[in-house]
Amino acid sequence: MTATTASPDPTAAAAGSAAAESAAGTGAAYFSCAGMQSYYGESYIVQDISFDVKEGEVLALLGRNGAGKTSTLRTIARMDDPQLVSGQIWLDSKPLHAMADWQAAQFGVGLVPEDRRIIQGLTVEENLKLAQIEEPIGWTLDRIYGHFPRLAERRKQEAVTMSGGEQQMLAVARALARDIKLLLLDEPYEGLAPVIVQEIEKIVAEIKDLGITTIIVEQNAVAALELADRAIILDTGQIVFSGSAQEVLDNTELRHDYLAI
């Protein structure tokens, strides 16, 4: 299938170009999506979502199970499923909405999916080298091993035989092995022991300090909010809150209604 082009809907197109103008003009919206709508077959899942992320910012994308968080990340990464049918998505003044998944990846969208997608039969190092088979390359192996000493120790080990936490580190490292503009983390702490969560949190904090623009989806909302600058809460595929991370931490009602924390 060819890349989905912008919708004929003039409203969506107008909203998109306004977002594009602000991206080009002020530099404020490094990433923006406007009127983003996507479907799994007939099921309307991402329901008219619009938001911006500034360069170097960490945005927490929160909401209960089934709220549409993974679908939103997959839409941004231009996966075939769910299919983007309307709206615009811009990154660093380039239209992601006009790209296929591989073009978005090549341009700098680094999706670390929930299931991590570690390649079976390959060592840790081979998984990393595979990510660097094509330009543009991000971190060198030496730099990766400097930040992820556990991966350095296990470079010759078959990657899928590692613990869940180590595989998560590899999944994040593999994204950094490419020259990325936007990191999309889908539940990086899921299913991990608290001590391992702390290790991954440290890595994500380092990534933030390096100024990599990031959208983090987490069920562990408090962990994500402590790190994030801003937060968006989704419910049934729509944005029900957008504000600072601190506002969510301070708002008991919001946390109770949409986050169960």
Ligand X SMILES: Nc1ncnc2c1ncn2[C@@H]1O[C@H](COP(=O)(O)OP(=O)(O)O)[C@@H](O)[C@H]1O
CA distance 176 to 192: 21
Under 8 Å between Cβ of 22 and 55 = no
Residue 71: name its binding partner from ligand X, Mg ion, none (Cβ under 5 to 8 Å by kind): ligand X
Q: Confirm or reject binding of residue 38 to ligand X (CB under 6 A).
A: no
Residue 120: name its binding partner from ligand X, Mg ion, none (Cβ under 5 to 8 Å by kind): none
Q: How many CB atoms neighbour CB 125 within 10 A?
A: 18
Q: Confirm or reject binding of residue 42 to ligand X (CB under 6 A).
A: no
Q: Confirm or reject binding of residue 70 to Mg ion (CB under 5 A).
A: yes
CA distance 82 to 148: 33
Sign for the CA dihedral angle at 212, 230, 215, 195 comes to positive
Q: Rank residues 115 and 134 by Cβ distance to Mg ion and give the closer one.
A: 115
List 4, 37, 70, 83, residue binding ligand X (CB under 6 A): 70
Nearest to 97 by CA among 86, 108, 82, 113: 86
Q: Rank residues 26 and 65 by Cβ distance to ligand X and give the closer one.
A: 65
For residue 91, CA distances in Å to 43, 70, 97, 104 come to 27, 19, 10, 9
Q: Confirm or reject binding of residue 161 to ligand X (CB under 6 A).
A: no
List 4, 7, 71, 132, residue binding ligand X (CB under 6 A): 71
Q: Nearest approach, Cβ of 49 to ligand X (angstroms)?
A: 11
User: Which residues in this chain contact Mg ion in the complex, by CB under 5 A?
Assistant: 69-70
User: Which residues in this chain contact ligand X in the complex, by CB under 6 A?
Assistant: 40, 43, 45, 63, 65-71, 81
